[in-house]
Amino acid sequence: DEKPGNVHHQLQKLLTELHKRTDAYELKIANRLYGEKTYQFLEQYLDNVKEFFLAHAESVDFQNAAEESEKKINSWVETQTNGKIKNLFPKKTLNSATILVLVNAVYFKGQWEKKFNKEYTKEGKFWLNKLEDKLTAEKLIEWTSSQNMSKRDVDLYLPRFKLEESYDLKDVLMAMGMVDVFSPQDADLSGMTGRRGLVVSKVLHKAFVEVTEEGAEAAAATGIVTGFTSTRYSIYEEFHCNHPFLFFIKQNKTNSILFFGRVSSP
């Protein structure tokens, strides 16, 4: 059922599917809301956040203990991401004026179905060029559709890379039309507390991705990985990722893009 009224249930279904354990990869999505303790959350809201978004809302003392609250949030994120995402909030990011903080941290660890042979890893040149500017969701769907793909045997040259990036999404969200929630005068989050006065101050996102010969975590190093198929054929193609490229990690069952990024300098 795709009715708008069921959007919470659809998101709940998606998050539940993404949280399922699998031997193929490890994915952790950490979501939490931290609000100034003088603003008490409604029990119904807390229940809805936990049920539909698999997240929790927590009261902290920003007014009198902003630094301690900051450390607490950073520690929670680090724990949820196996120690890979540290210091989501740099020192003194939060202060006594902070009212509400939304935290989203995502961690992915994957294994190649056919691992690369480390013996063929070597340093190589990585060329710079301009990537496509007009990338759209429609193009992604078209490119990744099984109807537009065929199986081929290739020798793949892929760089090992490690990415860790932080984003402050406030300006992005405001540019998309999400304005009132950041305004002390216009924000109405009374459904969370039972009264007005609560306003969003920060929306931060941090992601970590590492790709190696195994597809798992390893010591960071710059190199070109040469891969061979397990069975050699007289006719095959070479695919060299020795220039900036886009990558994404998609769960096929839900057709959801979990990570999307660009590698411009491995």
Q: Which CATH number characterizes residue 199's domain?
A: 3.30.497.10
Residue numbers of the domain that contains 159 = 4-263
Can you read off the two tokens belonging to residue 77?
Answer: 């994120």
**Does the global pTM surpass 0.75?**
no
Would you state the pLDDT for residue 236?
Answer: 67
Would you state the pLDDT for residue 131?
Answer: 54
Which residue bears the tokens 């305004």? 183
Q: How far is CA 174 from the centre of its chain?
A: 20
Under 8 Å between Cβ of 169 and 204: yes
Helix ranges (H only) for the chain are 7-18, 43-53, 62-80, 137-144, 170-175, 190-193
**CA–CA distance from 202 to each of 22, 34, 117, 211 (Å)?**
33, 11, 44, 30
Under 8 Å between Cβ of 241 and 211: no
Under 8 Å between Cβ of 247 and 263: yes
How are beta strands 202-211 and 161-168 bridged, if at all?
antiparallel
Would you state the pLDDT for residue 219?
Answer: 24
Would you state the pLDDT for residue 224?
Answer: 26
Would you state the pLDDT for residue 65?
Answer: 94
**What SS3 state is found at 5?**
helix
Nearest residue to 161 (alpha-carbon basis) of 26, 261, 28? 261
Give the chain's domain count: 1
Under 8 Å between Cβ of 186 and 180: yes
Q: pLDDT tens digits, the chain, 266 residues: what are they?
A: 445 457 878 878 877 787 777 777 777 777 788 888 887 778 888 888 888 887 878 888 988 999 999 999 889 888 888 887 788 888 888 888 887 787 877 777 777 767 777 776 777 776 655 555 667 777 777 777 777 777 778 777 777 777 777 778 889 889 999 899 888 888 888 888 888 877 787 777 777 777 776 653 322 222 222 222 233 344 567 777 777 777 777 777 777 777 777 777 76
CA distance 41 to 256: 31
